Structures are given as structure tokens and as C-alpha cells.
Structure 1
Amino acid sequence: MKKVILVQRNDPGADHGANERKLAELKELARAAHYSVVGVLTQTRYPDRKYQVGRGKVDELAVFVEVSGADKVIFNHQLSTTQIYNISETCKCEVIDRFNLILEIFASRATTRRAKLQVELARLQYELPKARSIVSLLKKDERPGFMGLGGYEDSYEQDVKKRIVRIRNEIHSSCKSSESLRSFRHERGFSLVALAGYTNAGKSTLFQSLVKEGTEVEDMLFTTLSPTTRSLSINQRRVLLTDTVGFIEDLPHWMVDAFRSTLDEIFLADVILLVVDMSDPVDVIRQKLVVSHDIFWKRIEGVEIVTVLNKVDMVDSDDLKRKVDAISYLAPHPVLISASSGDGFEALVDKIYENLPHWDRSRIALDMSEESLSMVSWLYDEGIVHSIDYGEQIVLDIEAREEVLQKVSKFNI
């Protein structure tokens, strides 16, 4: 396991609690990337143009690297190409920032063709503004291995832009396939429900409990990268439930956009379960809800969002009430649950059912024939048969999609 040192620069006057949370998240990200954190350096100051932190702190960092035998230094702030170059020259080891670390995690967990394309697209979009600086520094010291990018010519920036276009086109084609798949699933009588929310909110635990089968559930960021979908029945309605990649604090819009096709599993859903970790401080909960709604804004049309307040068993009743009241304007009708214990699941299932796409209910009479018996079998697959009476006629009380009822109405006597 590679050893890393984490570095965080805090703005003067910044909230201490927020700084602590950011550092804790960086540690979790490092753990998710399977690094061993051997040290942490922090400094309170405004950013330095050459090093992000002060020159004295970089010298201290270089000594720390040598003594600890660290393989890599990870900064919690986005670094410019020049800053990465200057720090790596002083510390004599690889230097990356938080966004490179996130890309590393996604790259290590991407298994499908589309997921791998998303990772490459995000990397290229991150790299594009730095392209000219990278080439300039490579030429300056003739270091073809700098940042692992190899030797480049002046055309590097144009090559990156062309590659971005090609990847976007390929992802766009796969998105069309997703739309077709959604239509196909609806035609087969399935409604689509997606779990969304921040990493470690408990989405995968909730997913496992609802579908009652084993899935990867770890106390680690980004355990879910490629969406996982399973079927279940809710009050006789067939539902496809999808566990999606978690949001993360301070994720730049270009990264959200790059992974848009992964998030399409959310945007294409009929119902979104927005899972919230109620053990977080109330200001963090509020911020995460605001960002989540911002991600959804203008990307979903008519999709019901059910806010699921998870881990309520980890909060005392008075504190829980205070938090629920504080976020009521962002989550007006939440469902309170504990994904680990199952508390609140009955109310959650009822809420999901209440928000599924509307099905009409009708009384159908069919003549007694072989064709009608086949139709009855089909109706059991496509809808909910509340009652059926076999006599001179076959009389059904059925609930189903409008398209199903229209088709069967042709045989109604």
C-alpha cells in the first residue's frame, strides 16, 4: 500500500468545523483509493501563487516526505500545473490534488465501457485548461515523464479537444440506448426508482435491504460506481431499483457533467429517493440538500423526489426533531428510516408506491375463449388483477398502464 501525506490550506477566518470536515473527507478519499495516510500538514493562510501553501511549509513537507518515505503528496485544493511542478521539484515525489484523487478512484472502479469513457472524459476536461502549461513545462526541463503524461508536441491541446468530442459522441450514443431501455422497461410494466445522495449516506445499505440480496456495502466512499439495478415488487407493482454513484462535496460542475451518463440512471427514473445522512451536522445536511437539488434542477421533468432521512437511530430524538425542522423547506415531506435496522421501511415502501406513475383501474369483461384466457395470463404479467370471476364471461377488476387497458378494451364485451 502506497504511503501518502495529505496537505490542506485553510483560508483565514474560515469555519473550523468546515475545515475539519473537508480534511476528514480527504482522508476517506485516500482510504477509498487504498492509500496509507502517514501524515497530515495544514496551514492557515491565503493561497500562494507558486506553491498553494507557503514556501516554508513546502520545505517542511519535503523533509516529512523524506523521513516518512511517502510515495505521494495529496493537496485538498485544486493545484495549477505550475504549483504541481514546483512542489514535486522540492519534495521529489508525485504530487496530485483532490480532483486527481477522485479520478483515480473512479478509474480503479470503472468496469463498463461507458464508465471508463466517463473517467477519461473527466480527466481530459480537467487537463484541458492546463494543456499549454504542461507542454511549456515539458519543453522547459525536457521531462517527458512529468505527471505521467509522456512527451508532447504543440498539438497536444488540440488532441485533447478532439478526444473530448469523440468521447462525448460515444457517450451520447449510449445515452440514447438508455432512453430506449427506459421505454422498453415501461412497456414491460416496470417503474423506475433510483437511489441518489451523497457518498456514505447509506444508499447501498438501503438498496441491499429493499432488494434483500447481497451487494457491496462498505464504509468507504464510492463503493458504487457503475449503477446496479434489481427488480422488486411494491404492492404488486413491478419496480426496478437502481443504486447510483454518490455525490461528493465541492464536486466541480465539469466533473458532474462528465459523469452525466452515470447520473442518467437518476434523471431517467420515475421516482428518486434522495438519501440523507441525519448524523451529519445540520449545516452540512442543508448544504448537501441544496447541492443535490441543484444537480437535479432542469435535468428532471415531472420526476417525484422522495427525501429519505437515514441513520435516525444515530441521533437522539430532540436533536432529530431540530434537524428535521431546520431542513423542512428543503424536505417538506420526508420519510425517516434506519437502513441498517429497517425502521421506517413500511412508510418508505408506501411512499414509493404513492409516487409511482399513475395506473388506471377498470372492470373488464371477456368472452370465455382460449384467446381470452391468454389475455388473462398477459394481464397478470402487465398489471394488478384485483379480482377475477369465471362464469359465462371472464370478469376482471384490473389496474394497469393506460396502454394495457386500451389494448384489452378492444376485447371488452
Structure 2
Amino acid sequence: MTAPIHVRSEIGKLKTVLLKRPGEEIENFTPEMMERLLFDDIPFLPEAQKEHDAFADILRDNGAEVLYLENLSAEAIDAGNVKDAFLEEILTESGYAAGTTHDALKEYLMSMSTLDMVDKIMSGVRKNEIDFVPSDLVSAAEDREYPFFMDPMPNLYFTRDPAASIGDGLTINRMTFDARHRESLFMETIIKYHPRFADKGLHVWRDRYHTTRLEGGDELVLSDHVLAIGVSQRTSADAIQDVARSLFDPANDSEYDTIIAIEIPHNHAMMHLDTVFTMINHDQFTVHPGILGEGGKIDTWTMHPANNEDGFTIEHNQDLEGVLKKELGLSELDLIPTGDGDPIIAGREQWNDGSNTLAIAPGVVVTYNRNYVSNELLRKHGLKVIDTLSSELSRGRGGPRCMSMPLVREDL
């Protein structure tokens, strides 16, 4: 495993992982801005950082190398000598392609060290930081009372979503909401310019320059040839078909020949597939009962390569367990319900990411400590469960899987 990205399962021993330590961005906003920034609460930064550091220590203690998005981004910008170009792109995507506001922001940010510039872009640029009164029409037409020139990016500590590792490559994602569109630019820059990743033959299965939406929380690598992708609030069916065309193209040599698209409710509580369904062992999965209809039915579409106009066939099914057994070659399957299936407990613990488990080895998972009913049930099913602190991190509506982007896992 010499490739800098190598992920052929959800459960292979985690060797290298990308995190983003929460910074000023997670509390650099007001309650009035929460809907705009996709947050339901404002975390307490010092405690969130302590909890995140404890999470990172768990991963290190279990043999994983931990890399940080903010550091890799700054190192990539410097290595590629692209500070000016990166800043032009981020300003354009922030709504300032040209004009006096663009010029003032660029002068302000270029005056910083590269790491300080990255941190400032992530945490947001307030209007009172710059001694400048906008004179261009765009800025003048905006809400003069709004406190930011460039919004903070509080969702960045959920590194799973802007990009997702698949085999010896990744998708760099076009995210759904404006609040998160800029996030994947950091990973694009890292892949292009960081010495660890640039010119290493990595496949970009789908880049960020699309109109259809795709987010990493919906992408699950079930084996060395099978993916599951959620059709969700954040990922569209069209995007899944794009991924299929890319992975199934013989010229790309991806080794992936199966994609299982799983439809989940399109709402904020269940925004990604990994908030309701995760793989935790060879034959064990967590599942939120709220996604299953009568008799455990749920709509799935299984895609395989084909020599036709689309490049693939599609087979509809409503028996998720049967589909997983068939495509993964399993005779038995253990679907473990969030909250032990109790409708009140399951709803509460799913809201607090009880289904969002991170497997760091087969049968070894990291979970939020607050989901004690689900965690105890996992233990009863033979899993090793490592609790991590969650009072503040969970306010952002994402769990251990959301907060981590595996870069390298051991093969099974």
C-alpha cells in the first residue's frame, strides 16, 4: 500500500486519516446565521477542541496517522507556489471575482502567512476587521448590517463530506448548499500541489465542477468492488450515475463493478446515508429503523457495468438485506438497530449520531458516548466500542464517521 490514498473497505484497519480541528469558525456566528450555515446550535469552542483532541488521540492510540486539513492546505499552497491563484479562486467562490471589495480582501489576506491565511478564510472575515468601505455595486447592494465579507465554514470539521476516498482515488465533491460549496477547494488544492499527493497517480473519479450534488457522507466503500451511495438530501441520483460511469469505465481501471444506491428520507435529521446506516464488520451494519418501511423494505437500485448507452444496468429492489448478502457474498447479515429499535430512543440517538459509527478495524468502532443505548447494543453483538466525548461536537450534527476522512486502510 504505497499510494497516498488507499481505501477498499469501510472496516480495514485505519492507517491514515484526515481531520479538521475545530477553530473559531464553529462559534463565529450568531443564532440568526445558524440556518444559513446549516447549524442547529453554537458549540462551545474550548470544549469542542478538547473533545476533538480526545477523538484524534483515540485514532492515534489505535495505530492511525492523523493529518489535519488546515496544515495540508497551507503546505500545498506553499509547495505549489499558488497562494495568489488559490486566493483568487476562494474570493471568486465567495462572491468577489473583482472590484474594490475583492481588492481589499485580497490585500488583507495576502499580508498573512499561508497558514494564518487558511485559518482566517476558514474562520470567516468580518467587516470590522478591515478599514474599508465598499464602493462597488455588488457590495453596496448587500445587507449592510450583515457582519461578514466572507462567511465562516463551521462544517469543515466534518471532513468526510467535501471528498471521499475510493480505492486509490477519490471524489472531490460538488456540495449541496452554498454554505459548503467552498470546502472542497481545499482538498482539490491538496491533491494538486501537496508533495504527499501530487503526481502520485491518484484518480479523481469525479471533480467538484458539476451541477449535480454529491457528498462523502453518502459514499460507503463496502468492499474492494462494491460501493453504497445514498440518494439523500445531499446526494442526487444523477450524481450517483456520474460516479458509476467513471468507476465502470474500463480505461479508469477502478476495480469497482457494483454500486448500490439506497434511498433515504430527504431531511435534515437524516442528511447522509452514514447518519442512518454504516458498515462496522464483515457482516454487521448499524441501521436506523426510521429508514425502513413495512417489513423492513427500503428502495435500492443496484448498478453494474454494461455495454449500453448508459454504461450500466440498474436493478430495483426493496430488500436491503438480500441485496447486501448477494453483492457482498454473505450468507448471514447482522443489522443492528439504533437505540435497540425503541422509537423514542432510536429517534433521539439517531439525532445525536448514534448510527454514525466509525470502524477503525473489523468489529472495532468509535462512537459518541452520549448514545449509550446503541453503544451497549453494539457490545452485545460482539463489537468493541470505543466511546469518545460528544457534548459539544454533536451540536454540529455529525458523528465520528462524519469527522474523519480515511486516506489509507489496510486491505482485508
Query: Larger Cα Rg: Structure 1 or Structure 2?
Result: 1
Larger fraction in helix: 1
Q: TM-score, normalised by structure 1?
A: 0.26
Q: TM-score, normalised by structure 2?
A: 0.26
Q: 1 or 2 for the larger relative contact order (CA 8 Å, sep ≥6)?
A: 2
